[in-house]
Amino acid sequence: MIYEVNCMIPASRRDEFLGWLELHVKQLLRIDGFEDATISCLNEDERLPDEHAGFCVQYFLKDSSSFDHYLQEHASTMRQDGLNRFGSDLKIYRRLLSSPVFSSQ
């Protein structure tokens, strides 16, 4: 299962945000069921405003119960941290992806 969080921040705050994001991801990886994560730059996204930097974080979870546990026990605190630091400058959309239906591997 992949939990994807896409973040958009004004380009002027890119470095500040990325520094915080790396620490934030490391905190999430301490939660049971979060097995790995990647941070990628969003190069093309119709939702990305001009003069903004975008990042896609993909968390790889053990199973759906791990995600449910995160939502019930940790999500509100973890999400609030970003809002407290970056306020309305930070725009986020999230997606939950299930197992692949096709893989070339």
What domains are there in the chain, each with its CATH number?
2-97 (3.30.70.100)
36-79 pLDDT, tens digit each: 999 999 998 899 989 999 999 999 999 999 999 999 999 999 99
1 close to 61: Cβ distance less than 8 angstroms: yes
The pLDDT of residue 99 is 76
Task: Dihedral sign for Cα 13, 50, 93, 62, please.
Answer: negative
> Per-residue confidence at 100, pLDDT binned at 50, 70, 90?
confident
- Distance CA(59)–CA(22), nearest Å, equals 13
Q: pTM for the whole thing?
A: 0.92
